[in-house]
């Protein structure tokens, strides 16, 4: 039986090592938007350096996206396996996946305004729970 994750790596010109397969499976099955350190805690048999290096390769190949701008100062990662945007609670640092928005009109407007062909996009929205008290 063929391993679909192995095929994904090969389609992105990446050697399908056991560590890459393990990390890709982790990213595709966890919606926690982990940091490299969190992944290393869950996968202690893979060195932290390998986790960082593999994540950077995945980002380069657009298998994983980086979520920055969170007040914890850490880089969070998310699988780029389906189109969605993120809503980030600036009080709790919770990152919420949302897919109820069609970016096509925004992309068309950006292309019309700039003349550029939009090849990728990243949308992060920031907010707070309206019922929470100011700090």
pLDDT of residue 1: 41
Q: Residue 90: which domain range?
A: 4-127
Query: Could you tell me how far CA 22 lies from the centroid of its own chain?
Result: 16
The answer to whether residue 81 sits within a structural domain is yes
The answer to whether residue 133 sits within a structural domain is no
The answer to whether residue 10 sits within a structural domain is yes
The answer to whether residue 53 sits within a structural domain is yes
Q: Given pLDDT bands bounded at 50, 70 and 90, which one contains residue 26?
A: very high
pLDDT of residue 134: 63
The answer to whether residue 134 sits within a structural domain is no
The answer to whether residue 132 sits within a structural domain is no
Q: Given pLDDT bands bounded at 50, 70 and 90, which one contains residue 90?
A: confident
- The lowest-confidence range among 9-23, 34-48, 119-133 is 119-133
Q: 82: domain CATH number?
A: 1.10.10.10
> What total of structural domains would you count in the chain?
1
pTM for the whole structure: 0.81
Encode pLDDT of 36-80 as tens digits.
999 999 999 999 999 999 999 999 999 999 998 777 888 999 998
* Cα dihedral 50→52→40→61 (10° resolution): -90
The answer to whether residue 135 sits within a structural domain is no
Quick check: 77 and 66 in contact, CB under 8 A?
yes
The answer to whether residue 70 sits within a structural domain is yes
pLDDT of residue 70: 77
- The lowest-confidence range among 1-5, 35-39, 116-120 is 1-5
CB burial of residue 34 (10 Å; 0-12, 13-18, 19+): buried
Q: How far apart are CA 15 and CA 63, in angstroms?
A: 14
């Amino acid at each position: 039986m063929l391993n679909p994750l192995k095929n994904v790596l090969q389609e992105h010109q990446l050697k399908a090592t056991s560590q890459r397969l393990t990390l890709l499976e982790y990213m595709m099955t966890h919606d926690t938007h982990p940091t490299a350190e969190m992944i290393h805690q869950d996968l202690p048999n893979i060195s932290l350096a390998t986790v960082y290096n593999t994540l950077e390769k995945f980002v380069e190949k657009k298998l994983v996206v980086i979520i920055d701008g969170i007040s914890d100062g850490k880089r969070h990662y998310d699988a780029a396996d389906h189109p969605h945007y993120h809503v980030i609670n600036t009080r709790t640092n919770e990152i919420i996946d949302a897919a109820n928005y069609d970016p096509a009109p925004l992309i068309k407007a950006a292309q019309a305004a700039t003349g550029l062909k939009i090849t990728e996009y990243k949308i992060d929205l920031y907010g707070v729970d309206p019922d929470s008290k100011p700090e």
